[in-house]
Amino acid sequence: MRDSGIPREQIWVTTKLWPQDYAAADAPAGIDLSLENLGLDYIDLMLLHQPYGPVDEAWAALEEAKAAGKIRSIGVSNMSVNIWNKWVPSFRMLPAVNQVECNPLFQQRELRAVLDPLDVVLGVTAPRWDAPVA
């Protein structure tokens, strides 16, 4: 990114906190390691990779890193409606994004009905259409 000549504020960087770093004792170091590995002062969007394990501890660390200016936006990945309802009501901040698979054959209508009134973006990931089908 540095070699591109593009000003940092014109580049959007998203990364994820990995589940092995979700525990309260590990999450801050995981966030800092991402910043170090990317060579950045801040990350534009950091997502929880998956909603398993000590999600509440990881989310609290993301909230703290956001408050410290290390992360601009925080979000989650792969949260269904049931998982969303299990975890998100206990968060101090709403996720800006829930990144899930969404495509014409899997439109996530129920999830969108939960996220839309909250102004939470449905971050789209699509399956690999070129992947062999089993």
Q: Is residue 35 part of a domain?
A: yes
Q: Which range of residues forms the domain containing residue 26?
A: 2-95
pLDDT of residue 76: 97
Residue range 80-93, pLDDT digits in tens = 999 999 999 999 99
CATH of the domain at 84: 3.20.20.100
Number of domains in the chain: 1
9 to 5, 40, 43, 63, 115: CA distances (angstroms):
12, 11, 11, 21, 28
Angle, in degrees to the nearest 10, between helices 27-38 and 55-67: 50
pLDDT of residue 117: 96
What does the pLDDT average to over 33-52? Answer: 95
Q: Is residue 116 part of a domain?
A: no
The structure's pTM equals: 0.88
Contacts of 28 (CB under 8 A, 6+ apart): 61, 64, 65
Q: Is residue 110 part of a domain?
A: no
pLDDT of residue 51: 93
